[in-house]
């Protein structure tokens, strides 16, 4: 069959509501890293799903943040806003268990964009009394004229087919925009850096994840073995000591977890070398951010 419909779907919401989880579940593979901590997704990431007659291009975005003091937060809010303007359909995700003032911030942005918006109420697996959702849904209906309101559990892939089918109804007619076997716009190097960053986020506590970024310096892929060298950038000497850990144990743990997942991605053995280096206050400095790839 040939593709008759295609278009872009922006996935928007405050941090931690499950945007990246939803993308991965719809695509059936891990395109975008996830974690219980905010600021996990820093970039705009495409996940492309091609069925027999529809090509849907999902755009995962960083969460919309209230705090615009730091260059990193401003950068992430800009990404979220510009993605909305380029999309054919917007998915606005909220957490079924709580509405926060940042959700209102997102809603304000949506009012300015004039696109069909599907409200996705996520994490319904955590709602014990499902009947309690109904008055909540009624209230949300008064806030905005949504094209649809769909409760899901992204984690359990619950009700995602109905979401996908409503999305495809709203897409414009058109040919495939990407090769039919392509699933993301990101390079392998990018995906590897993100896997390392995900393990780092899980392994370290509190503020540290926001102060780190990963840069791939060496990448040599051969049939059976891939050699990778990566730098973990932190903002201060003290953070460097934390990432390395006592006797290097923390860095070793991050390396082992990352290596296993990269081996699955590449289907080769992987030799992974990690360094930790300091670049002072890089998240608060537009120039330092650009030098690390945050354009
Ligand atoms: N219980 C539950 N947890 C979820 C669901 N979807 C996502 N999560 C969790 O919520 C956290 C944030 O998810 P993530 O996709 O990174 O959120 P994002 O910041 O919006 O991209 C992670 O710990 C996910 O495992 C869901 O449907 N149910
Ligand atoms: Mg995310």
| pTM given for the model | 0.87
All domains of the chain in start order, with CATH: 5-170 (3.40.50.300), 188-291 (3.30.300.20)
Q: Is 16 in the pocket of ligand 1 (CB under 6 A)?
A: yes
User: Given this model, what pLDDT does residue 38 score?
Assistant: 74
Q: Is 17 in the pocket of ligand 1 (CB under 6 A)?
A: yes
| Gyration radius of the chain's alpha carbons | 20
Angle, vertex CA 71, rays to CA 70 and CA 77, nearest 5: 95
Q: Is 34 in the pocket of ligand 1 (CB under 6 A)?
A: yes
User: Residue 246 has what DSSP assignment?
Assistant: G
Q: Is 151 in the pocket of ligand 1 (CB under 6 A)?
A: no
* Cα–Cα distance for residue pair 14/17, rounded to 1 Å: 6
CA of residue 142 relative to chain centroid, distance: 29
Q: Is 35 in the pocket of ligand 1 (CB under 6 A)?
A: yes
Ligand nearest to C-alpha 22 = 1
Atom 19 in ligand 1: residue holding the nearest Cα = 16
Cα(73) to centroid of ligand 2, in Å?
14
Cα(140) to centroid of ligand 2, in Å?
23
* Ligand 1 nearest-atom number relative to CA 21: 15
* Cα–Cα distance for residue pair 86/15, rounded to 1 Å: 21
* Ligand 1 nearest-atom number relative to CA 153: 27
Q: Is 36 in the pocket of ligand 1 (CB under 6 A)?
A: yes
Would you write out the chain's pLDDT as a tens digit for each of its 295 residues?
Answer: 699 999 999 999 988 999 999 999 999 988 998 888 877 877 789 999 999 999 999 999 887 777 666 776 777 777 777 888 889 999 999 999 888 888 888 888 888 888 999 999 999 999 998 888 888 888 889 989 999 999 999 999 999 999 999 999 999 999 999 999 999 999 899 999 999 999 998 888 766 767 788 999 999 999 899 999 999 999 889 999 999 999 999 999 999 999 999 999 999 999 999 999 998 877 777 777 776 667 6
Cα(152) to centroid of ligand 2, in Å?
17
**In this structure, which residues have their CB less than 5 angstroms from ion ligand 2?**
19-20, 41
Assign 255 to helix, strand or coil.
helix
User: Given this model, what pLDDT does residue 121 score?
Assistant: 96
User: Given this model, what pLDDT does residue 58 score?
Assistant: 96
Atom 28 in ligand 1: residue holding the nearest Cα = 123
Q: Contact at 8 Å (CB) between 132 and 97? A: no
- 204 Cβ neighbours under 8 A, 6+ residues apart: 212, 242, 243, 250
Bridge partners, 56 (sequence order) = 7, 49
Instruction: Return the H-helix or E-strand segment holding 230.
Output: strand 225-234
SS (H, E, C) 85-120: HHCCEEEEEEECCECCHHHHHHHHHHHCCCCCEEEE
DSSP result, 184-227: BSS-HHHHHHHHHHHHHHHHS-TTGGGG-EEEEEEEEE-SSEEE
Atom 13 in ligand 1: residue holding the nearest Cα = 18
User: Given this model, what pLDDT does residue 68 score?
Assistant: 65
SS (H, E, C) 129-154: CHHHHHHHHHHHHHHCCCCEEEECEC
Q: Is 40 in the pocket of ligand 1 (CB under 6 A)?
A: yes
């Amino acid at each position: 069959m040939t593709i008759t419909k295609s278009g872009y779907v922006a996935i928007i919401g405050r941090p931690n509501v499950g945007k990246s989880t939803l993308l991965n579940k719809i695509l059936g593979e891990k395109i975008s890293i996830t974690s219980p901590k905010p600021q996990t997704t820093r970039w705009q990431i495409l996940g492309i799903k091609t069925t027999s007659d529809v090509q849907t291009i999902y755009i995962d975005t960083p969460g919309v943040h209230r705090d615009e003091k730091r260059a990193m937060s401003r950068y992430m809010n800009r990404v979220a806003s510009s993605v909305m303007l380029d999309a054919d359909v917007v998915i606005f995700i909220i957490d079924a268990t709580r509405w926060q003032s940042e959700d209102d911030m997102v809603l304000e942005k949506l009012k300015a964009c004039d696109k069909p918006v599907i409200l996705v109420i996520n994490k319904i697996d955590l709602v014990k009394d499902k009947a309690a959702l109904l008055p909540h849904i009624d209230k949300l209906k008064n806030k905005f004229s949504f094209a649809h309101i769909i409760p899901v559990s992204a984690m359990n892939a619950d009700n995602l087919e109905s979401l996908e089918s409503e999305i495809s109804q709203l897409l414009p007619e058109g040919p495939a925009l990407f090769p039919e076997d392509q699933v993301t716009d990101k390079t392998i190097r990018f995906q590897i850096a993100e896997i390392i960053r995900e393990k780092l986020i899980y392994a370290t506590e509190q503020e540290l994840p926001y102060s780190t970024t990963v840069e791939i310096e060496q990448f040599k892929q051969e049939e059976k073995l891939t050699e990778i060298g990566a730098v973990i950038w932190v903002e201060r000497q003290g953070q460097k000591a934390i990432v390395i850990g006592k006797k290097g144990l923390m860095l070793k743990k991050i390396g082992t977890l990352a290596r296993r997942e990269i081996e699955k991605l590449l289907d080769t053995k992987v030799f992974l070398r990690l360094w930790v280096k300091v670049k002072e206050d890089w998240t608060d400095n537009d120039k330092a951010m650009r030098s690390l790839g945050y354009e």
